[in-house]
Amino acid sequence: MKVLITGGAGFIGSTVASRCVDAGIDVVILDNLLTGRAEFARRFPFYCGDIADEKLLDKIFTDHPDIGATVHCAALIVVGDSVSSPARYYENNVSKSLALVSSVLRNGCGRFVFSSSAAVYAPGEGGCVDESSPIEPQSPYAHSKAQFETMLDDIVAATDLSAISLRYFNPVGADPELRSGTPSAHPTHALGKLFESYSTGTPFTVTGTDWPTRDGSGVRDYVHVWDLADAHVRALQRFDRITADSSGMTVVNLGSGRGTTVWELVRTFENVLGEDIDVVVADRRTGDTAGAYASNDRALRLLGWVPTFTLEQGIEDTARWLAVRSHLLNSVSPNVSLSGRRRG
């Protein structure tokens, strides 16, 4: 099997690419390198360009007529940025993704795996959600994922395309072999901010302490990126069986299956790294919700998938990645180790 991975030079896409190769699946990468890194893609046939470039897509399928599936990981993902620049998110995550679907259909590639998000779910009280839970996105980013899912479902019903939408919860960690990890030296998610506080000695900010959760902070479901990558491989390997009797898009949650509050994340981080973190509190940010955690029942039934990595392992693997990131990517990054804070 050979697959096209859009956004394959990014955090998720590059990890999926490595897991595919480990499973004997050939990979072709398409990435515009807006947020991805060429270092992650250089092990594969790599095309630098836009997912909406029809001529480039035609060339890719001409060069690789044996591509049997597309894994669509290319997207803008920062919630706060989407609030300030919504048009940019709708253009990239909706309009260009629609152009991508047209291109893969035109080239006869009928299997489509979409990297979606648990952000599409309605805000709750930090409880468990399954694939039938209400959809009520709270940010332009989440809206863009939900809108593309709606379009994809309609296209599947009307064409030869079959699709699986994998709704990620909160990815952490890195490829255990450190072939890739977070491209940015300053990630915007909570764990990235904790590492920034750890390496610089600046306080970590807990945004929102009045949520209806067990300790007032938001609940998140932190799933190891290698577990996510494994789920993609399983979706590809079982794709035809999963979609055979479906008249629409198949949706599958991918999370750890347990909720972790921000305060619990801080304590777990401190236990793994062996050092206390200074913490300050602030008001809720625009687009934030109380959060949720995944029911993985459908993932087990359809993919035979259960997460195998713990949050502690995700923190450890992130630390190992950040310690080598500047060397592997030839750029500045926090200098961290599991034994304590180091400053270069």
Comparing 45-59, 64-78, 114-128, 176-190, the range with the smallest average pLDDT is 176-190
Residue 343 CA to residue 227 CA, distance in Å, equals 31
Q: Residue 63: is it exposed, middle or buried by C-beta count within 10 angstroms (0-12/13-18/19+)?
A: exposed
pLDDT at 334: 37
Question: Which is higher by pLDDT, 124 or 280?
Answer: 280
Mean pLDDT for the stretch of residues 98-103: 98
The answer to whether 175 and 314 are in contact (CB under 8 A) is no
User: Catalytic annotation on 89?
Assistant: no
Of 47, 121, 141, 198, catalytic: 141
Compute the mean pLDDT over every residue in the chain, rounded to the nearest whole number. 92
pLDDT digits (tens, 9 = 90+) for 49-69: 999 999 999 999 999 999 999
> Any bridge partners for residue 135, and if so which?
121
pLDDT at 287: 66
pLDDT digits (tens, 9 = 90+) for 317-340: 999 999 999 888 874 333 333 433
pLDDT at 299: 98
3-class secondary structure per residue, the chain: CEEEEECCCCHHHHHHHHHHHHCCCEEEEEECCCCCCHHHHCCCCEEECCCCCHHHHHHHHHHCCCEEEEEECCCCCCHHHHHHCHHHHHHHHHHHHHHHHHHHHHCCCCEEEEEEEHHHECCCCCCEECCCCCECCCCHHHHHHHHHHHHHHHHHHHCCCEEEEEEECEEECCCCCCCCCCCCCCCCCHHHHHHHHHHHCCCEEEECCCCCCCCCCCEECEEEHHHHHHHHHHHHHCHHHHHCCCCCCEEEEECCCCCEEHHHHHHHHHHHHCCCCCEEEECCCCCCCCECEECCHHHHHHHCCCCCCCHHHHHHHHHHHHHHHHHHHCCCCCCEECCEECCC
pLDDT at 264 over 90: yes
pLDDT at 153 over 90: yes
pLDDT at 243 over 70: yes
Percent pLDDT > 90 in the chain is: 81
Mean pLDDT for the stretch of residues 240-269: 94
